Structure 1
Amino acid sequence: MANAASGMAVHDDCKLKFLELKAKRTYRFIVFKIEEKQKQVVVEKVGKPTDSYEAFTASLPADECRYAVYDFDFVTDENCQKSRIFFIAWSPDTSKVRSKMIYASSKDRFKRELDGIQVELQATDPSEMDLDVIKSRAN
């Protein structure tokens, strides 16, 4: 089931962990990495339900691309507890051009594998995905 555009397969563990995050809230976040040699997307790191947003952003490398899913809990103006599942395509300006191209060409196919994503965010700099941005996009 390789992606025609980039030839990347999606490891079963990616879908399994995402389902656990979505249904059981086992994780706060999941960071995914493309293993070029194996031509597939794999889980690089998962965050405990108690992990902070700062712990999540700290787990993204400063100069390498990643995909990530973050389960954001918030309270609405009407005082309702809600959550949104964010898909974040992390592509820092300092990462290699080849890496950016591979991640960009594989993104839509990979995202389709994760059924239940509610908000998508593209970030090239930490400020583009700081907590204020997440909050404003969640509503």
Structure 2
Amino acid sequence: MYTLSEDNSEIVVDKTSENRNYEDFVHDLPSTECRWVVYDFQDRRAGADRNKIVFISWSPDAGNMNKKMLYSSSKEALRRNFTSVSVDINAADLGDVSRETVG
């Protein structure tokens, strides 16, 4: 999970995790603060394993409008570092990042 530094001058790592299921990860998204997330999504459907790298731009409805605009305009600076992303999601609420949306 990535965020902007306190002075908004650079993108920094906010939080990392390994071996967490998707639902636990989703509940870590802040309710009023923007974040960018790169998640290795693993799914098992019809007996087949599927992996895909998901990039999420998290901009909750309750977030500060100026911060939301700053995160939106800074997204590509981070996104271009992850060439293997197969799903790109702009999310404002938990429904936007549901397993069904990603899967």
Report the secondary structure of 1:73's partner residue.
strand
Q: Which residue of 2 aligns with 1:35?
A: 5
Does the alignment pair 1:66 with 2:19? no
Instruction: State the 1:93 CA deviation.
Output: 0.9
Partner of 1:117: 85
Ranges in structure 2 where 5+ consecutive residues have no aligned partner: none
The code of the aligned residue for 1:103 comes to: Y
TM-score relative to the length of structure 2: 0.91
CA shift, 1:36, in A, is 4.1
What TM-score do the two structures reach when normalised by structure 1? 0.69
Alpha-carbon displacement from aligned partner over 1:28-79 (angstroms, at most 9, x marks no partner): xxx1011141611111111122x111221121100000000111112354x3
Q: Distance in 1 between matches of 2:59 and 2:68?
A: 6
What RMSD over aligned residues (CA atoms) do the two structures have, in Å?
1.4
Distance 1:43 1:59 in 2: 14
Equivalenced residue count is 103
Aligned partner (choices 38, 41, 53) of residue 85 of structure 1: 53
Stretches (4+) displaced over 6 A: none
More helix by share: 1
Greater C-alpha Rg = 1
Q: Comparing both chains, which one has the higher relative contact order based on Cα–Cα distances under 8 Å and sequence gaps of 6 or more?
A: 2
SS of the residue 1:113 aligns to: coil
How far apart are the structure 1 equivalents of 2:23 and 2:50? 20
Question: Share of identical aligned residues, percent?
Answer: 32
Alpha-carbon distance between aligned partners in 2 of 1:99 and 1:32, rounded to the nearest angstrom: 14
Q: 1:21 aligns to what?
A: none
Structure 1 gaps, min length 5: 1-30
User: Is 1:102 aligned with 2:67?
Assistant: no
Distance in 1 between the 2:82 and 2:57 partners? 13
